[in-house]
Structure 1
Amino acid sequence: MSLLRLQNARLAFGTAPVLDNTQLIVERDERLCIVGRNGAGKSSLLKVLNGQVALDDGELKKDAGLKVAMLPQDPPARTEMAVFDFVAGAFADLKEHLSQYARLIQRMTDEPTNEALFTELSKVQEVLEAQNGWEVQQQIEQTLTRLGLDGQARLDSLSGGWLRRVALAKAWVIQPDVLLLDEPTNHLDVETVQWLEQTLRDFHGSIVFISHDRAFIRALATRIVDLDRGELHSFPGNYDAYLVEKQRLLEVEEAHNAAFDKKLAEEEVWIRQGIKARRTRNEGRVRALKALREERKQRREKQSTANFEAQAAERSGKIVWRANNISFQYNDKVLVKDFTFTLQRGDKIAIVGPNGIGKSTLIKLILGDLQPTAGTMEQGTKLNVAYYDQHRAELDPEKSIADNVGEGKMDVTFGGRTRHIYSYLQDFLFTPQQARMPVKALSGGERNRVLLAQILLKECNLLILDEPTNDLDVETLELLETIVSEFKGTVLLVSHDREFIENTANEVLLFEGNGQITEIVGGFHEVAMYQQAKREKEQKRAVNTPKQGTSAKEKHSQAQQTSARSGNKLSYKLKRELEQLPAKIEQLEQELEGLQEKVSEPDFFTQPIGDTQPVLERIQAIEEELETALERWDYLENFEDN
């Protein structure tokens, strides 16, 4: 059953329409993902569905009483407003009374004998009762609990990820039939993205979302809708099926256009023959040629693909950065603790962890912008750094794209040759007309491309990418993956995009909290394996740990049973096991060292996955087996003392 229906929809902000006489149907209980290039009009389409933008022509039909809510692309502003008050804003008529009631209840806790407060509270209660406010308040409280939010917390005390949860709560609280989401994973850490995936799967209603996060799309979408040159095309099934069918359609389009252009060229040759073309018996052919010309004029070409690369500078020293038991503490918060690591030339390292845990601090330590509070570190030689900043601090929003990238010059040097700034920017999909636009007029994805154009002009041998994937369309994202993979220097990337990490990194530094950083060989697949094994181990430990509520009598009984089984002495079998463990541990360590050397070889990750995957899986298995053996050795060594 359809909930929303676009018919003959047309919308234009310039010469090329965003929606060009197109159709769209949103069915009940489906999760529909809108994909397309940056600037194609995806956010505008979402605003049309939400009633924020009116169509130039056509019609939006929806069921009477249908509730639609939207999660905007940008998180709420950091203000002194309480979370409860912000979420209550979804109910405009009751917002002030609900917020006032929440504040009075909080004050009554501190001033239970204040008669004036009690009188004021009674008046607010009467208003809420008359307007069915108690049911609304319950909805808000249930939503805050479900999303793990503190209603009394202030917005200016929350991180970007938590602000995103607050915005979701405001959309969710009205219990919409259709939930609209614009780039919901932007600036969220991996753990929060996975939480969001599960939360949205549990949502009882239809979801229409925009995303360039391929792993997120694969996990959530039941249908893909492609917005391309003003037209909407629906692709039932998963994201991979869409990619295959989309490629087939583009090839069919290309073949059709080639045949059309050949026919037009033949007719143009014919018309130039002169008087024969103007004879009466050929007037129909002349009219057909005019129609062909008009059709060719109206054709909207497929947007070209970005074409850029990184300029490698002179090679750096073999050691780019070395740390020996370094720690960094800010006030009482430990961000890095006892970290020992060597960053070598050619490494491609992903830095992964929740927001605010210390990833940017580690980068500043590597660059020498910060000094450790304990331990020692040294920076390598001949370093030329290009730094992609997630906050886009290097862009002046008032200046044009060309002035930001070319620093006011009309010629730039790239790859050893001089190029006009407009020519260089065309590699990043900016026309000369767009290059004169101010940066503040651009979308998020377009700003990211400007920043890439700016930093890639610089010759570098250490490329640092801090959240480079936000807002980039898939085609540009895949090109960036290729650049990172083929870059001859060293790469450090901070990202929450699981697929981007998997396709680019050969090692991961995982921030686990309290300053602990774990080094994991491989990409995000290996991170997921490590985290799963860790969760299983913690669950097993929790099952085997006696409950805190166990009585002294029960503990004594358990101790007697253990003593009776073992006599507090090692059996012959356990003694033999203890004697054999050191040799087993040494064998595992030697095998692990050999495999790690193999992985460290420069060409390891250029081999087929069928050759590399077994090695990485064996490393993971050995590490787990080694940890188990060491724990067993420690247990048996101290058995008689237990």
Structure 2
Amino acid sequence: MLLSYRNLTVSFGGPKLLDNAGLTIDKRERICLLGRNGEGKSTLLRILNSEIEQDQGEIEAIPGLRIGKLDQEVPAALEGTVFEIVAQGLGEAAQTIAKYHHLLHEIGEHPDDESIGEQLDEVQHQLDQTDGWAIEHKVENILQRVELDGDQEFSSLSGGNKRRALLARALIKQPHILLLDEPTNHLDIPGIRWLEEFLRKADIALLFVSHDRAFIQRVANKILDLDRGQLTRWECDYNTYLSRKAELLAGEAKQQAVFDKKLAEEEVWIRKGIQARRTRNEGRVRSLKKMREERAERRNIQGKTKLDLSDAQLSGRKVITVDDINYKWGQTPLIENFSTTIWRGDKIGIVGLNGSGKTTLLNLLLKKLEPNSGSITHGTKLEVAYFDQHRDQLDDKLSVAENVHPAGEMVNINGKPRHILSYLQDFLFTPQTSRSPITKLSGGERARLLLAKLFIQPANVLVLDEPTNDLDIETVELLEERLLEYNGTLLLVSHDRSFLDNVVTSTIALEGNGLIEEYVGGCEEWLKKQESNKASAKKQKPATTTATVNEAPPATAAPIQRKLSNKEREALKKLPGKIEKLEAEHAALAELMATPEYYQDPASQLAEDAKRLEKLESDILQAYEALEALS
């Protein structure tokens, strides 16, 4: 046990976010914290990181417990090189080595400045007298693990690489527990895959919040469910949790229905005539009062967002025709010789690395940008609604209601008038919140507000740029359902693999250097090609190291590749069969544990099967690593 909380209670004036909750984190556990927007997930992470204090609760922790945290948003004011940012995680101990690296940069730019040279000599002397060089080695080591260049300016990094640098800063102090708040936000899909593998192999405990279902399934081996102030621990993976939670909620609904029926009967009884009241059972009256109190204290499940798209006239059959377009950003080619036709009813996903030009391609398709060459032709009767990933369409000076409909109190939804406050309740905004400024809204609430603004517009072409960021899983799944029912044309940029695979009919992938490929279905085929290219590049990587300018060649020769021993050759021959057998057993057990009958059968061994499933996952990973090493 690393950390344990008992009777944890937190309230900010409304219903308790945590109500006498309990929490335990053990070594090497990878726990995903789930809950609806506003339930208190980020608040719990802040309590664990000592950023705020709980109202009450007892804590027990190992001596010298270290906790690292990666926040949801990248701080705007961070300056310096990647090395300096990462070194900040070590506090004052790293100031000298950070200053040394800063001076190295300075003297590289001003080699004739003697004052910089004198400062560098002084800092080197300080490092010689302390363990500064050991700190440098520690920073360099963590930078190698996250695959970043320490000499790069932090401000020049992509959003995904900034998060890698901040992850390195959190890891540098070797935390026992790492807290992650929406770690996949702003990462591209290859970046998410890298993070998954990194976290699965890390020798630390994780507690993370995420709405990315594929990421949760790949990383989490435990689930912590925050629901109406209570924390419930599930010793299983995400898919198994979903089926078990559905069973639990169904049982809860039945119990509440029986209770409510009994309460209604008792209310009828106590309102009978005068003669009945004279002879009534006082014990029964006390019991009724207790039932009333219990019903008043019940916290119902938070309502679900209602997403209804406004109907629009049909567009022409041919929506967008792209003919041999080219587009450069400065001297960098983003799109070269790309042609395609988008037909009415197509649901197209757009994927690619961060900075590859996904949003640029959207703007070209919508004619907000002009290509350097080639042409883009729109069909007839297009009505476009656009969801912008930066939420720039929202005006901080206006209230929630004014952002959605600034003109009057009534809105028109599919030909029927509705009051704006009633419409916003479909998106879980109370009348009080709807009248308030949007500056108080969370990221998830802003995303819901933009959906409310978007869905009020009749549209036959829907353009969504990263719509799932900050949304809870229930709202993401409901959005999926509505998009599947949508009869118009959809253009979707997303890094959520499950969302893409469940919604789109084809995928446009920006491969880099201007190359664009099209795939049928979701992003799975593109990911397979990415992995294949990565494996090929690794095989073709030269064994020798090429010396750079002003760098001496390595003193030792490159190692000669040795032949496999007989034992290793035999192991290599057996590994594919072993992997196939392990994966088959894992698939069969996972399928069994996903059925309701499994939980209804008293003979089912939940704990043993969960441990076996986890052991199989570990064995499969080890077998693949062995196969890669021997290959």
Same fold by TM-score greater than 0.5? yes
Q: Quick check: 1:78–1:156 contact (8 Å CA) kept in 2? A: no
Q: In 2 relative to 1, CA 433–109 (structure 1 residues): closer, same or farther, beyond 3 Å?
A: closer
CA distance in 2, matches of 1:118, 1:186: 42
Please report how far the alpha carbon of residue 135 of structure 1 lies from its aligned counterpart in structure 2 after TM superposition.
2.3
Residues 191-214 of structure 1, C-alpha deviations (whole Å, 9 max, x = no match): 100111111122111010000100
Over 3 Å counting, the alpha-carbon distance change for 1:546 and 1:36 in structure 2 is: closer
Partner residue, 2:519: 520
Q: CA deviation at 1:362?
A: 1.1
Matched-pair identity in %? 46
* Structure 2 SS opposite 1:448: helix
Q: State the superposition RMSD in angstroms.
A: 2.3
Deviation at 1:344, TM superposition (A): 0.8
Distance 1:277 1:430, change over 3 A: farther
Change (3 A) 1:547 1:133: closer
Q: Which has the larger radius of gyration?
A: 1
Contact 1:410/1:421 (8 A) holds in 2:
yes
Q: 1:455 maps to what in 2? A: 454
Could you tell me which residue of structure 2 aligns to residue 622 of structure 1? none
Please tell me the residue identity of whatever aligns with 1:323. Answer: V
Q: 1:116 to 1:535 in 2, by over 3 A?
A: closer
> What's 1:138 paired with?
137
What SS class does the counterpart of residue 266 from structure 1 fall into? helix
Displacement of 1:84 after TM fit? 2.0
* CA displacement at 1:141 relative to structure 2: 1.7
Structure 2 counterpart SS, 1:94: helix
After superposition, the Cα gap between the structure-2 partners of 1:327 and 1:119, relative to the gap in structure 1 and judged at 3 Å, is closer
1:272 equivalent in structure 2: 271
Q: Quick check: 1:186 aligned with 2:190?
A: no
In structure 1, C-alpha distance between the alignment counterparts of 2:237 and 2:225, rounded to whole Å: 13
1:93-492 to 2 correspondence within 5 Å? Answer: 93-108=92-107, 116-128=115-127, 132-275=131-274, 279=278, 282-492=281-491
Query: Aligned equivalents of 2:391 and 2:486: distance in 1?
Result: 22
Per-residue deviation at 1:103?
A: 2.0
- What's the counterpart of residue 23 of structure 1? 22
> Once the two structures are superposed, what CA deviation does each residue of 1:374-398 show, in whole Å capped at 9, x if it has no partner?
1222111110000000000011123
- State the alpha-carbon separation in 1 of the partners of residues 107 and 334 from structure 2: 39
Cα offset, 1:152, TM superposition = 2.6
**Distance of 2:53 and 2:545 partners within structure 1:** 62
Offset, 1:15: 1.7
Q: In 1, distance between residues paired with 2:523 and 2:119?
A: 56
Question: What is the Cα deviation at residue 528 of structure 1?
Answer: 2.9
In structure 2, relative to structure 1, the CA distance for the partners of 1:489 and 1:538 (3 Å cut) is same
Tell me the amino acid that sits aligned with residue 400 of structure 1: S
Are 1:493 and 2:492 matched, yes or no? yes
1:92 CA drift (Å): 2.5
Task: Look up the SS of the partner of 2:340 in the other structure.
Answer: strand
Q: Which residue type is aligned with residue 203 of structure 2? A: H
Q: Which amino acid aligns with 1:513?
A: G
1:156 deviates by 2.1
The answer to which of 51-60 and 526-535 deviates more is 526-535
Q: Deviations over 1:439-478 (max 9, x none)?
A: 2211111110000000100000000000001111111111
Contact 2:311 2:414 in 1 (8 A): no
What CA deviation, in whole Å up to 9, does each residue of 1:268-299 have, x standing for no partner? 11111254565587222211111111111100
Tell me how far apart the structure 2 counterparts of residues 407 and 522 of structure 1 sit (CA, whole Å): 39
Q: String of CA shifts for 1:306-362, please: whole Å, max 9, x gaps.
A: 111212311111111111111111220111100010111110000000111111111
| CA distance in structure 1 between the partners assigned to 2:275 and 2:82 by the alignment | 79
Q: 132-141 vs 324-333, which deviates more?
A: 132-141
Write out per-residue CA displacement over residues 118-165 of structure 1, whole angstroms, 9 at most, x where no aligned residue: 543344345445653332222112112221222232222121111111
Q: TM-score, normalised by structure 1?
A: 0.81
AA partner of residue 331 (structure 1): G
User: Could you say if the C-alpha distance between residues 519 and 267 of structure 1 is closer, same or farther in structure 2, counting changes exceeding 3 Å?
Assistant: same
Distance 1:469 1:76 in 2: 21
SS at match of 2:470: coil
Q: What is the CA–CA distance in structure 2 between the aligned matches of 1:460 and 1:386, rounded to whole Å?
A: 6
* Code of the aligned partner of 2:17: V
* Residues 279/526 of structure 1: CA separation in 2 closer, same or farther (3 Å cut): same
The CA deviation at 1:5 is 0.8
Distance 1:180 1:290, change over 3 A: same
Counterpart of 2:611? none
Q: Is the 8 A contact 1:27 1:206 kept in 2?
A: yes
Identify if the C-alpha distance between structure 1 residues 360 and 116 changes in structure 2 by more than 3 Å, giving closer, same or farther.
Answer: closer
- How far is the alpha carbon of 1:438 from its aligned partner? 2.0
CA contact (8 A) 2:504 2:522 kept: yes
Q: Distance in 2 between matches of 1:385 and 1:413?
A: 17
Q: CA deviation at 1:263?
A: 1.1
Match of 1:42? 41
Alpha-carbon offset, residue 538 of structure 1: 6.2
- DSSP 3-state at the match of 1:149: coil
8 Å contact 1:422–1:435 — kept in the other structure?
yes
Contact persistence 1:77–1:155 (CA under 8 A): no
Question: Secondary structure at 1:209's aligned position in 2?
Answer: strand
How has the CA–CA distance of structure 1 residues 116 and 131 changed in structure 2, closer, same or farther, with 3 Å as cutoff?
same
For 2:257 and 2:527, how far apart are their aligned partners in 1? 46
CA distance in 2, matches of 1:206, 1:546: 36
TM-score where L is the length of structure 2:
0.83
Q: Partners in 2 of 1:338 and 1:546 — Cα distance?
A: 36
The alpha-carbon deviation at position 104 of structure 1 amounts to: 2.6
Q: Which runs of 5+ in 2 are unaligned?
A: 547-631
> Does the 8 A contact of 2:90 with 2:172 survive in 1?
no
Match of 1:554 in 2: none
**1:402–1:408 Cα contact (<8 Å) kept:** no
| Preserved CA contact (<8 Å) 1:76 1:167 | no
Q: Are the counterparts in 1 of residues 177 and 204 from structure 2 also a CA contact under 8 Å?
A: yes
Name the stretch that deviates more: 105-114 or 371-380: 105-114
Aligned to 1:623: none
Partner of 1:73: 72
1:501-557 Cα distance to aligned partner (Å, 9 max, x none):
0000110001101111101111122323444455566678x49x99999xxxxxxxx
Find the residue that maps to 2:23 and give its secondary structure.
Answer: strand
Measure, in 1, the Cα distance between the counterparts of 2:306 and 2:319.
29
8 A contact 1:448–1:471 mirrored in 2: yes
Quote the Cα distance in structure 1 between the aligned partners of 2:396 and 2:292: 41
User: How many residues are matched?
Assistant: 546
Give 3-state SS (helix, strand or coil) of 1:293's partner.
Answer: helix
2:32: which partner in 1?
33
8 Å CA contact 2:41, 2:209 repeated in 1: yes
1:498-509 to structure 2, matched below 5 A, reads 498-509=497-508
* Contact 1:10-1:20 at 8 Å conserved across structures: yes
Partner Cα distance (2:129, 2:212) in 1: 46
Alpha-carbon distance change, 288 to 506 in structure 1, aligned in 2, over 3 angstroms: same
Distance 1:194 1:260 in 2: 47
In structure 2, C-alpha distance between the alignment counterparts of 1:318 and 1:428, rounded to whole Å: 32
Give the Cα–Cα distance (whole angstroms) in 2 for the partners of residues 478 and 512 of structure 1.
28
Structure 1 unmatched ranges of 5 or more: 550-642
